[in-house]
Amino acid sequence: MEKIRYALDLLGNPEGNLPIIHVAGTNGKGSTIAFMNQLLQSQGLRVGTFVSPHMVSVHDRICINNQPIADEHYRQLLEQILDLEQEVARVYEPFRYFEVMVLMMFLYFKDKALDVVLLEVGIGGLLDTTNVVDPLVSVISTVGMDHQDLLGSSLGEIAEQKAGIIKPKRPVVLGPVRPEVLEICQRKAEQAGAPLYRSGWEFQLEEGRFENGSLALDALELGLAGRHQEENAAVALQAFWLFMQASEREIDREKAKQALAQTRWAGRLEQVSQRPTIFLDGAHNVPAVERLVAHIQNQREQDVTILFSALKRKDFKEMLELIQRELPKANLLLTSFAYDGAISDEDGLAGSTYVADYQAFLKEWRKKGVGSLYITGSLYFISQVRRLFEHKY
């Protein structure tokens, strides 16, 4: 954190005057940002977004009103950051990849006359590179077990890290979490004098109706599939309402409802083929797999195939065991992909089949596949698969 603050000081603190909504969480960050992005743009606002990882191009991490940063700007900013690195390296170690992207993002957004920036945490919160901002609203979508090597081995330790984005006097929106996580977030919020808005308490979305005591929206339809997306949409709506209140803007309710229905987010229960039926879902940890499994169970499909790949540093065996236990009739296939540390044929479980070439498998599936195919696991894997469909594979 010292290094990134030093670098920002040398750049003249481009992050200082940006109107920011800061978003942390184990899962749901991207979908929550997607809903907020659509909601805010529906009100005529100019919205910057910073998310990771990217699905297609690194430029997609830094967007304004859904338009990725142009390659010319990207290259110019990269050169500027590399020059800065030489000065910073006299005191600290060289920049890491994510630090470079964060610095570029702040510089790019600085002079773009943005109404709001949706800023996604990289990992955790307290010690994340993005946690140098004083946001208008802080959001914690979910808290679950992931990145234990960096954030801690217990849910409580991880919650302490996520709650590290809570800032003095700034409102906090909290998604559905377990009681021990809620207790930690409440304590942090009280210490900071930060108003806390809890899913299911101060706001809720049930049966197509959102309500928070001041704003009510009925007959809502969501553009993202899955019960968990109702939870993400509720968090997004509450953060959206808080931002609009803070900036003294009126909400066009009909446009907001349309925005929720039009929301899309790549690689999250994204249907990329109708005949045969193929979905991409970046369920990259146990909580995310639980949500995917719940969705598949709710569909009550009779013929389901799951193509899975992940990184070895993840709890991939626990993820596979969960799929086998909860979806015993599904055809579970494992594969690998071009990424250092990806699982291989030696990492499978009894009852699963290894696919050596997933590209060849997909070609064959698109010709003869029966039922539904869910491609899931690492977001890096999903990104590579998605490029095949982008190019009409």
At residue 342, what are phi and psi to the nearest 5 degrees? Answer: -75, 150
Q: Average pLDDT in the 214-225 region?
A: 95
Residue in the block written with tokens 């236990």: 325
- Note whether 308 and 345 are within 8 A (CB): no
**What pTM does this model have?**
0.90
- State the pLDDT at residue 148: 65
At residue 235, what are phi and psi to the nearest 5 degrees? Answer: -60, -45
DSSP strands (E only) in the chain: 20-24, 47-50, 62-64, 67-68, 116-120, 137-140, 172-174, 196-198, 204-206, 209-211, 216-217, 270-273, 277-281, 304-309, 331-335, 353-355, 372-377
DSSP character string of 114-146: -SEEEEE-SSSSTT-TTTT---SEEEE----S-
DSSP strands (E only) in 236-364: 270-273, 277-281, 304-309, 331-335, 353-355
At residue 112, what are phi and psi to the nearest 5 degrees? Answer: -100, 10
- State the pLDDT at residue 149: 64
Q: Which amino acid is at 183?
A: E
Maximal CA-CA distance, the chain: 62
* Strands across the sheet containing 47-50: 67-68, 62-64, 47-50, 116-120, 20-24, 137-140, 172-174, 196-198
Strands 209-211 and 216-217: antiparallel
Q: Which two tokens stand for residue 273?
A: 């083929």
At residue 335, what are phi and psi to the nearest 5 degrees? Answer: -150, 175
Supply the mean pLDDT for the chain: 93
The span from the CA of 385 to the CA of 337, in Å, is 9
- State the pLDDT at residue 25: 93
The band of 145, judged by pLDDT with boundaries at 50, 70 and 90, is: low
> Where do the domains of the chain lie, and which CATH numbers do they carry?
2-262 (3.40.1190.10), 270-390 (3.90.190.20)
For the cut 80, the answer to whether the pLDDT of residue 351 exceeds it is no
The sign of the CA dihedral 146, 339, 104, 115 is negative
- State the pLDDT at residue 392: 57
Q: Residue 168: how many CB atoms within 10 A of its CB? A: 9
The span from the CA of 10 to the CA of 107, in Å, is 12
The span from the CA of 195 to the CA of 238, in Å, is 13
The span from the CA of 304 to the CA of 81, in Å, is 47
What proportion of the chain, given as a percentage, has pLDDT over 90?
80
For the cut 80, the answer to whether the pLDDT of residue 152 exceeds it is no
- State the pLDDT at residue 370: 87
The span from the CA of 264 to the CA of 37, in Å, is 10
- State the pLDDT at residue 147: 63
The span from the CA of 368 to the CA of 361, in Å, is 10
Least confident of 108-112, 272-276, 345-349: 345-349
pLDDT in tens, 35-84: 999 999 999 999 999 999 888 889 999 999 999 999 999 999 999 999 99
- State the pLDDT at residue 70: 97
- State the pLDDT at residue 5: 97
Q: Average pLDDT in the 241-263 region?
A: 97
For the cut 70, the answer to whether the pLDDT of residue 166 exceeds it is yes
Q: Average pLDDT in the 157-181 region?
A: 96
